[in-house]
């Protein structure tokens, strides 16, 4: 009898030890978004909800952000292991902080094209970039489209623009009111915000940067050098889970919005589904993305962007493209094959 009790006790202890060991092997990862919980954040909330991170022995926390610049800074400080940020903002940080000890690195491209565009109302008479000469444009000072506007202006011979700064919630309101002639912003953000403020889609003129000579990359997953050095296996597992989740999101955007709703109950499901679909069509499953492959970049194009950002952002030092990008942690080509053929 005693022997049987001993065996049962030993088995229970062994099981508990195994469970504790498995739990100890789970890697906690803090991930910072570029913005609040909106349609495109489904790309990161889906692998959480579906257990893809958990299956990879990762305990991932996804937090909302307030701009790419802030995300880059927080990852650089070590407050977050990984983040989602505009590549231009990362390049600017590198070039303006050459002696920073922990400069984040981009490890997976998600928005193969910048989502930035100039938007105006048709009644303004603005139809092409040339019509922007001498006009009053508005955007928050940290807006990616505003920061990169010199590249757009140079490509389209635009000059004499006057800028008005405002907080993000006022941008589309000021355009509808006529306080500014045009705004810059992410197309899938500002276009839908304009509709929410009473503008009809057919009354909005959209001049997407990629269609007017601006070949900038958009947002990428960035990582602190610390986690890349100390736990490369966890980083690789994270990116593999992201790719798996991205395939699900692209295949069924409407279903994945439920995971965004679970994180922020006040979102408008229909609006955020449209926002996600717009993001997929314009910057995730774009012609450039299909040509280069999801998650990846083209070397010469990256170098061109580094040069353009150095000039447009007037950085302290020139951007070194090889210092801001590292593809060593990407999943296999088969795992990255998430984009449906057009």
Tens of pLDDT along the chain (342 residues)? 444 544 455 555 555 444 444 455 899 999 999 999 999 999 999 999 999 999 999 999 999 999 899 999 999 999 999 999 999 999 999 999 999 999 999 999 999 999 999 999 999 999 999 999 999 999 999 899 999 999 999 999 999 999 999 999 999 999 999 999 999 999 999 999 999 999 999 999 999 999 999 999 999 999 999 999 999 999 999 999 999 999 999 999 999 999 999 999 999 999 999 999 999 999 999 999 999 999 999 999 999 999 999 999 999 999 999 999 999 999 999 999 999 976
- Residue 90: which of 112, 79, 113, 74 has the closest Cα? 74
Final residue of a structural domain among 166, 190, 212: 212
In a domain, 174, yes or no: yes
Task: Give 261-330 as a DSSP string.
Answer: HHH-TTS-HHHHHHHHHHHIIIIIS-HHHHHH-TB---HHHHHHHHHHHHHHTT-SS---HHHHB--TT-
Within 8 A by CB and 6+ apart from 263, the residues are: 37, 41, 45, 62
Report the alpha-carbon angle 26-32-38, nearest 5.
115
Residues 286 and 331 in one domain: yes
CA distance 173 to 171: 6
* Two structure tokens written together for 340: 């449906």
* Two structure tokens written together for 323: 């210092």
Q: What is the pLDDT of residue 31?
A: 98
Q: Which domain holds residue 240?
A: 28-112+217-336
- Residue 86: which of 70, 62, 103 has the closest Cα? 70
Residues 192 and 301 in one domain: no
Residue with tokens 């057919």: 202
| Residue ranges in the chain assigned as alpha helix (H) | 2-24, 42-49, 52-55, 68-77, 87-96, 144-147, 149-156, 171-177, 187-196, 225-230, 232-251, 253-263, 269-279, 287-292, 299-312, 321-324, 333-336
Our count of domains for the chain comes to 2
In a domain, 187, yes or no: yes
Residues 198 and 224 in one domain: no
Residues 64 and 142 in one domain: no
Q: What is the pLDDT of residue 2?
A: 47
CA distance 119 to 116: 10
Q: What is the pLDDT of residue 35?
A: 92
In a domain, 255, yes or no: yes
Q: What is the pLDDT of residue 11?
A: 53
In a domain, 186, yes or no: yes
* Two structure tokens written together for 66: 């307030």
CB 66 within 8 A of CB 284: no
Residues 225 and 324 in one domain: yes
In a domain, 34, yes or no: yes
Final residue of a structural domain among 212, 230, 248: 212
Q: What is the pLDDT of residue 342?
A: 66
Final residue of a structural domain among 163, 188, 212: 212
Within 8 A by CB and 6+ apart from 133, the residues are: 158, 159, 160, 161
Direct distance between the N- and C-terminal alpha carbons of the chain, in angstroms, rounded to an integer: 70
CA distances from 137 to 119, 162, 279 (A): 9, 6, 24
Q: What is the pLDDT of residue 6?
A: 47
Burial class for 206, CB neighbours closer than 10 Å (0-12, 13-18, 19+)? middle
- Residue 186: which of 283, 315, 49 has the closest Cα? 283
Output phi, psi for 119, to 5 deg. Answer: -125, 140
Q: What is the pLDDT of residue 24?
A: 57
Residues 244 and 125 in one domain: no
Residues 164 and 54 in one domain: no
Residues 248 and 103 in one domain: yes
In a domain, 15, yes or no: no
CB 281 within 8 A of CB 206: no
Residues 161 and 206 in one domain: yes
Domain with residue 162: its CATH number is 3.40.190.10
- Residue 313: which of 195, 147, 164 has the closest Cα? 147
Residues 177 and 263 in one domain: no
Q: What is the pLDDT of residue 22?
A: 46
In a domain, 10, yes or no: no
Task: Give the burial string for 21-35 (b: 16+ CB within 10 Å, else e).
Answer: eeeeeebebbbbbbb
Residues 146 and 162 in one domain: yes
């Amino acid at each position: 009898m005693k022997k049987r009790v001993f065996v049962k006790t030993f088995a229970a202890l062994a099981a508990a030890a195994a469970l504790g060991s498995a739990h100890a092997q789970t890697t906690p990862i803090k991930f910072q978004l570029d913005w609040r919980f909106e349609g495109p954040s489904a790309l990161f909330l889906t692998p959480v909800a579906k257990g893809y991170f958990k299956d990879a022995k990762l305990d991932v926390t996804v937090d909302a952000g307030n701009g790419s610049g802030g995300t880059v800074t927080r990852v650089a400080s070590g407050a977050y292991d990984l983040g989602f940020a505009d590549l231009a903002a990362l390049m600017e940080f590198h070039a303006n902080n050459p002696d920073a000890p922990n400069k984040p690195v981009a490890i997976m491209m998600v928005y193969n094209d910048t989502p930035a565009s100039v938007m105006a109302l048709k009644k303004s008479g603005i139809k092409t970039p040339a019509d922007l000469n001498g006009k009053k444009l508005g955007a928050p000072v940290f807006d990616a489209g505003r920061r990169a506007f010199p590249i757009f202006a140079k490509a389209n011979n635009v000059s004499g623009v006057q800028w008005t700064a405002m907080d993000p919630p006022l941008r589309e309101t000021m355009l509808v009111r006529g306080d500014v002639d045009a705004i810059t912003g992410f197309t899938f953000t500002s276009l839908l915000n304009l509709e929410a403020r009473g503008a009809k889609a057919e009354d909005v003129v959209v001049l997407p940067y990629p269609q007017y000579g601006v070949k900038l990359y958009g947002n990428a997953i960035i990582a602190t050098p610390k986690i890349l050095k100390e736990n490369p296996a966890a980083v690789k597992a994270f990116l593999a889970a992201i790719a798996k989740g991205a395939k699900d999101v692209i295949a069924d955007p409407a279903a994945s919005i439920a995971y965004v709703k679970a994180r922020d109950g006040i979102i408008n499901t229909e609006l955020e589904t449209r926002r996600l679909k717009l993001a997929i069509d314009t910057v995730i499953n774009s012609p450039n993305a299909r040509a280069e492959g999801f998650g990846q970049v083209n070397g010469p194009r990256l170098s061109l962007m580094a040069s353009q950002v150095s000039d447009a952002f007037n950085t302290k030092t020139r951007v070194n493209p090889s210092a801001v990008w590292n593809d060593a942690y990407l999943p296999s080509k088969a795992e990255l094959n998430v984009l449906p053929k057009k």
